[in-house]
Amino acid sequence: MELVERYSSFMGSNDSYDEADTVIVGVPMDFTVSYRPGSRFASQVVRNVSYVLEEYSVYLDRDLADYKYHDWGDINLPIGNVPASLERIAEVSARLCNDNKFPIFVGGEHLVSYPIISEVYKKHPDLVVIQFDAHADLRVDYLGEPNSHATVMRKVCDLIGGRNLYQFGIRSGTREEFTYAKASTNMYVDQVIAPLRNVIPGIGGKPVYLTIDIDVVDPAFAPGTGTVEPGGISARELIEAVHLMRELNIVGMDIVEIAPAFDQSERTALLGAKIIREAILGCTRPNP
Ligand SMILES: [Mn+2]
């Protein structure tokens, strides 16, 4: 045990970038959100609350001590400049792809997923995207603006093809979004676990990018988010859903829309931290 320790990194990780298989990056952007901003502070709070978690997961009988993961820090973003921010996020994503890292991005708003997925798609042209979310995020524009956390999955569809997008837990959107989803994507309204089990065999070994919008969870379990939507899955179901990802070929992921200021209990950020722990343990390999 060290006499003095630093906990400003996720789980106190001290692994270097070069030796790590997994790299965690904060993306402190919340410039296009339609309701309450604040997700730019999520990554710092997720790091802070991760201190309470054990490295050992009793669900998986695996221990983070056996894994190499590096917390790179937060991307420096030009606050308020959306196009320049998306470019910088893409630049970081490209580097992680080139270096063959398993990237875990901590949002930030959901729009940050777009430049990340764009880079991952360059590397994996047969990419599948799995989205856990309360909202469809399939608008063409939001108040005339095509770059928004409400349009992000429509942009992803235009990029990779809607049939390669699987949406779970969706319980909010416009009629137009649900009509589009019916014709163009694989959307499973309100439910997560049962439909996820059904589609996993069909996805098989294809590369999968996982994007988790924390508002897929019922606000009772995750009140710290910008666009709260009552209903939704429990914290336990989200953990189970992440465990199901072990059956797939996950090549990267993000967890977005945690807005710590709206949750003094910190349970939302803590759920995010726990999800990251389970994803590292479940979706990457130990590195003794
Ligand atoms: Mn979303």
Strand 56-57, strand 62-63: pairing: antiparallel
Residue 5 lies in a domain: no
Ligand 1 center–CA 128 separation, angstroms: 17
Ligand 1 center–CA 288 separation, angstroms: 36
Residue 88 lies in a domain: yes
Ligand 1 center–CA 220 separation, angstroms: 18
Measured CA to CA, the distance from residue 134 to residue 88 in angstroms comes to 27
Range of the domain at 117: 18-283
Give ion ligand 1 contacts, CB < 5 A.
110, 133, 135, 137, 213
Measured CA to CA, the distance from residue 78 to residue 184 in angstroms comes to 35
Residue 256 lies in a domain: yes
Contact partners, residue 224, CB within 8 Å, separation at least 6: 214, 258, 259, 260, 261, 262, 263, 266, 267, 268, 269
Ligand 1 center–CA 179 separation, angstroms: 18
Q: Phi and psi (nearest 5°) for 41? A: -95, 0
Peptide bond into 38 cis (omega under 30): no
Ligand 1 center–CA 137 separation, angstroms: 6
Work out the pLDDT band at 81, boundaries 50, 70, 90. very high
Ligand 1 center–CA 136 separation, angstroms: 7
Helix residue ranges per DSSP H, 99-146: 113-123
Four-residue CA torsion sign, 135, 227, 245, 99: positive
Residue 6 lies in a domain: no
* CATH code (residue 208): 3.40.800.10
Flag whether pLDDT at 264 surpasses 80.
yes
Ligand 1 center–CA 92 separation, angstroms: 21
Nearest alpha carbon to residue 208 among 127, 276, 283, 285 = 127
Residue 10 lies in a domain: no
Ligand 1 center–CA 131 separation, angstroms: 8
**Cβ atoms 190, 152 nearer than 8 A:** no
Of residues 8 and 70, the one with the higher pLDDT is: 70
Residue 6 pLDDT? 63
Domains: count for the chain:
1
Residue 4 pLDDT? 76
Q: pLDDT tens-digit profile of 92-142?
A: 999 999 999 999 999 999 999 999 999 999 999 999 999 999 999 999 999
Q: pLDDT tens-digit profile of 159-180?
A: 999 999 999 999 999 999 999 9
Residue 52 lies in a domain: yes
Ligand 1 center–CA 151 separation, angstroms: 9
Ligand 1 center–CA 105 separation, angstroms: 14
State which amino acid sits at residue 77.
Answer: L
Ligand 1 center–CA 25 separation, angstroms: 19
Q: What is the DSSP string of 228-254?
A: --SS-B-HHHHHHHHHHGGGSEEEEEE
State which amino acid sits at residue 270.
Answer: L
Q: pLDDT tens-digit profile of 35-69?
A: 999 999 999 999 999 999 999 999 999 999 999 99
Ligand 1 center–CA 251 separation, angstroms: 20
Measured CA to CA, the distance from residue 8 to residue 220 in angstroms comes to 28
